[in-house]
Amino acid sequence: DTEVTQTPKHLVMGMTNKKSLKCEQHMGHRAMYWYKQKAKKPPELMFVYSYEKLSINESVPSRFSPECPNSSLLNLHLHALQPEDSALYLCASSQGSSGSSYNEQFFGPGTRLTVL
């Protein structure tokens, strides 16, 4: 079962709101990712968690705050976003073995975020 789930599917928020995006996988994967994708652009990596520790932060503004409560869950906390942050937010997971060169990444369906 190569399924990554994300909630909510759609989210509309004001610039002063605080909201969270959630991601879950039950494939036993140990690496989880947040990507941002704007229309007609490829996914843009934001964060990587490996074995529940933040491994990569691609210089993402602090208004985005990731959290990995356990190996199956990944959250993205949002606060004081700007309209230009409106995008499709994608979660992905992979096996996460640091010695493996394979590490196929499987994406969830995404959360369509609109910031007003």
Partner 1 sequence: QKEVEQNSGPLSVPEGAIASLNCTYSDRGSQSFFWYRQYSGKSPELIMSIYSNGDKEDGRFTAQLNKASQYVSLLIRDSQPSDSATYLCAVRGFNSGGSNYKLTFGKGTLLTVNP
Among 20, 63, 80, 106, binds partner 1 (CB under 8 A): 106
* Element holding 45 (H helix, E strand): strand 44-50
Closest to partner 1 by CB, 48 vs 68, is 48
Q: What x/- string results for residues 13 through 32 when contact with partner 1 is judged by CB under 8 A?
A: ------------------x-
| Shortest Cβ 64–partner 1 spacing (Å) | 18
The residue among 14, 8, 13, 22 whose CA lies nearest residue 76 is: 22
Among 3, 62, 103, 114, binds partner 1 (CB under 8 A): 103
| Shortest Cβ 16–partner 1 spacing (Å) | 28
d(CA 111, CA 15): 17
d(CA 63, CA 109): 23
